[in-house]
Amino acid sequence: MSLDDLRKRVDELDENIIKLLAERLSTAEAIGREKAAGAAPTLDAGRERQVIDRAISLAADAGMTAAEAAEIYERIIKLARERQSVSAAFQGEPGAYSEAAALAFFGPRAVTRSCESLEAVFAEVESGRVQYGMIPIENSIEGSISRSYDLMLEHSLMVSGEHHLRVNHCLIGNPGATLDGIRRVYSHPQALGQCGHFLRQLKFELQPTYDTAGAVKLIKEQGVCDAAAVASERAAAIYGMKILARDIMDNPQNFTRFFALARCDAPPSGNDKTSVVFAVKHRPGALYEFLRILAERKINLTKIESRPTRKKAWEYNFYLDFDGHREDESFKAALPALEDQTLFIKILGSYPRARAEGK
């Protein structure tokens, strides 16, 4: 075939590819509607993994590499996920980092709902008014979000996904503000703490608020030029505000881990994590025995920390993450022995492992 003939053939193939892609995305939308009608989870990482594995298998016979097939189908699945209608609640005002995490995880077409508190996020999901709740669970610099852990113990919602969001703080003011004119800075206490060096250098008066984006909204409503907020670039754009300084956090490796909460957790995907909370019996070696049971079954722990029970002084619950799914045979076999060592054990959910944003 001549070069012109080959190019004509490419054009014909592209026409067919576009038609097939459009049909596939349309079918994904229909699947999303069926899931919503049947109250099934919108996201199914296990099924997505099956689709990619099947594409890799077919690619070998078609002369494509596994890497090529995986890259193409991961993109197709991302587009298909964005076509499926998802609703998610988050704590804070529009522009909050929690909303950014929800949109990154569920796709830009997700319908987000602002809530005044973490408690309200749980209530929105439990009532069925939204499908998911996106809550912060820990920050790579400041540590765990205690209230999120406490609420997961108190409520029946389960972790169905996780997302790691890179946090880039900006100093934001009204359009007429200048850096030299700022006297007060508002933001969430954790955001203020993450920018401590920058804020101390300029000797600002710090004013804690319940939310980063809420701080931007507050100074916009005040209309003053001697106050600023620490929040995201996206929050500045939403409220039509001016960025006075970018990337003001002490540590550029600043990530927040978020949990996507739902009324059920996720089916196995082949690359999962599980979160549990438990309290051991009050006897010597009880925690050691609990951990030994997991080690004997080669269950790898990725995190463990204690939290006060808030019922009796100096008594603690332990929150633990491990590699694998609660449906894995290794964990199912270990569970009876774990229950013997504990006052209680609650599975908070199994979910596909996240990758840090930008990695």
Measured between alpha carbons, how far is 187 from 211 in angstroms, rounded to an integer? 6
Nearest to 232 by CA among 221, 220, 243, 219: 243
Nearest to 188 by CA among 144, 230, 250, 217: 230
Q: Which amino acid is at 224?
A: V
Assign 318 to helix, strand or coil: strand
Which listed residue (256, 259, 274, 290) is catalytic? 256
Q: What is the dihedral of CA 325, 86, 241, 214, to 10 degrees?
A: -70
Place of tokens 């929690």: 98
User: Any catalytic annotation for residue 256?
Assistant: yes
Tokens of 136: 């912060």
DSSP 9-29: HHHHHHHHHHHHHHHHHHHHH
Nearest to 343 by CA among 274, 278, 261, 286: 278
Residues in the chain: 359
Report helix angle 118-127 to 146-154, nearest 10.
30
SS3 labels along 178-247? CHHHCCEEEECHHHHHHCHHHHHHCCCEEEECCCHHHHHHHHHHHCCCCEEEEECHHHHHHCCCEEEECC
How far CA 319 is from CA of 116, 148, 308, in Å, comes to 26, 12, 11
Which listed residue (198, 255, 258, 318) is catalytic? 258
User: Any catalytic annotation for residue 259?
Assistant: no
DSSP 86-124: -EEEEESSTT-HHHHHHHHHH-TTPEEEEESSHHHHHHH
Contact 212, 91 (CB under 8 A): no
Paired residues of 111 in beta bridges = 87
Residues annotated as part of the active site: 256, 258
